[in-house]
Structure 1
Amino acid sequence: AAEYAMRGKQGVRVFMLSPHEKMSPFQTAQMFSLQDPNIFNLAVRGVFDDCQDIVKAVSNDHAFKAKYKIGTVNSINWARVVAQVVYYFKGYFAATQNNDQQVSFSVPSGNFGNVCAGHIARMMGLPIRKLIVATNENDVLDEFFRTGRYKVRGSANTWQTSSPSMDISKASNFERFIFDLVGRDAEQVRALWQAVDSTGEFDLSASPLFAKISAEYGFASGKSTHADRLATIRHTFEQYGVIIDTHTADGLKVGLEQREAGVPLICLETALPAKFEATIREALDRDPPRPAGLENIEALPQRFEVMDADAEQIKAFIAAHV
Structure 2
Amino acid sequence: MQYVSTRGHQRLGTFTDVLLSGLAPDGGLAMPEQIPTFSAAELERLRGLPYTELAYEVMRPFISDIPEDDLRGLLRQTYRAEVFGSEEITPLTALGDSGLYLLELSGGPSLAFKDMAMQFLGHAFEYVLERDDRRVNILGATSGDTGSAAEYAMLGKERVNVFMLSPHGRMSRFQQAQMYSLNEPNIFNIAIEGVFDDCQDLVKAVNADAEFKARYDIGAVNSINWGRVLAQAVYYFRAYFALGLPAGAEADFCVPSGNFGNVFAGYLAKAMGLPIGQLMVASNENSVLHEFFSGGVYHVWPAERVAQTSSPSMDIGKASNFERFLYLVAGGDAVQTAGWWAEVGAGRPVDLRGTVHWDAVAASGLRAGRSTHADRLATIRRVDTEFGRLIDPHTADGVLVGKRFQRPGVPMVCLETALPAKFGETVEEAVGRLPERPAQFEGIEDRPRRCEVLPNDVDALKGFIAGQLDIKRRG
The one of the two structures with greater contact order (alpha-carbon pairs below 8 A, sep at least 6) is 1
The aligned counterpart of 2:376 is 229
Per-residue deviation, 1:206: 2.0
What TM-score do you get using the length of structure 2 for normalisation? 0.66
The aligned counterpart of 1:96 is 244
Q: Distance in 2 between matches of 1:209 and 1:38?
A: 45
Asked if residue 26 in structure 1 is aligned to residue 174 in structure 2, the reply is yes
Which of 122, 134, 155 is the equivalent residue of 1:7? Answer: 155
The aligned counterpart of 2:359 is 211
Asked if residue 144 in structure 1 is aligned to residue 292 in structure 2, the reply is yes
Which of 328, 331, 356 is the equivalent residue of 1:180? Answer: 328
Which of 134, 140, 144 is the equivalent residue of 2:282? Answer: 134
Q: Distance in 1 between matches of 2:326 and 2:466?
A: 35
CA deviation vs aligned residue, 1:213-260 (integer Å, no higher than 9, x gap) = 132x11111111101100100000001111000000001101110110
CA deviation vs aligned residue, 1:266-294 (integer Å, no higher than 9, x gap) = 00000111111111011000001111211
Identity of aligned residues (%): 56
Count of aligned positions: 321
Q: Distance in 2 between matches of 1:208 and 1:36?
A: 51
Which of 384, 388, 398 is the equivalent residue of 1:251? Answer: 398
**1:1-322 alignment runs, 5 A limit:** 1-215=149-363, 217-322=364-469
RMSD between aligned residues: 1.0
Q: Distance in 1 between matches of 2:449 and 2:395?
A: 28
Per-residue deviation, 1:12: 2.0
Per-residue deviation, 1:7: 2.2
AA matched with 1:89: F
Q: Distance in 2 between matches of 1:74 and 1:272?
A: 21
Q: Distance in 2 between matches of 1:75 and 1:289?
A: 29
- Give the secondary-structure state (helix, strand or coil) at the position aligned to 2:413: strand
Q: Distance in 2 between matches of 1:312 and 1:272?
A: 37
CA deviation vs aligned residue, 1:102-156 (integer Å, no higher than 9, x gap) = 1110000100000000111111001000100110000010010010011111101
Q: Distance in 2 between matches of 1:110 and 1:198?
A: 22
AA matched with 1:94: A
Q: Distance in 2 between matches of 1:312 and 1:123?
A: 41
2:379–2:396 CA contact under 8 A, matched in 1: yes
- Give the secondary-structure state (helix, strand or coil) at the position aligned to 1:199: coil
- Give the secondary-structure state (helix, strand or coil) at the position aligned to 2:442: coil
Q: Distance in 1 between matches of 2:160 and 2:444?
A: 25
Q: Distance in 2 between matches of 1:284 and 1:135?
A: 22
Structure 2 unaligned regions, length at least 5: 1-148, 470-475
Which sits farther off after the overlay, 241-250 or 92-101? 92-101
- Give the secondary-structure state (helix, strand or coil) at the position aligned to 2:286: coil
Per-residue deviation, 1:96: 2.8
Q: Distance in 2 between matches of 1:321 and 1:273?
A: 35
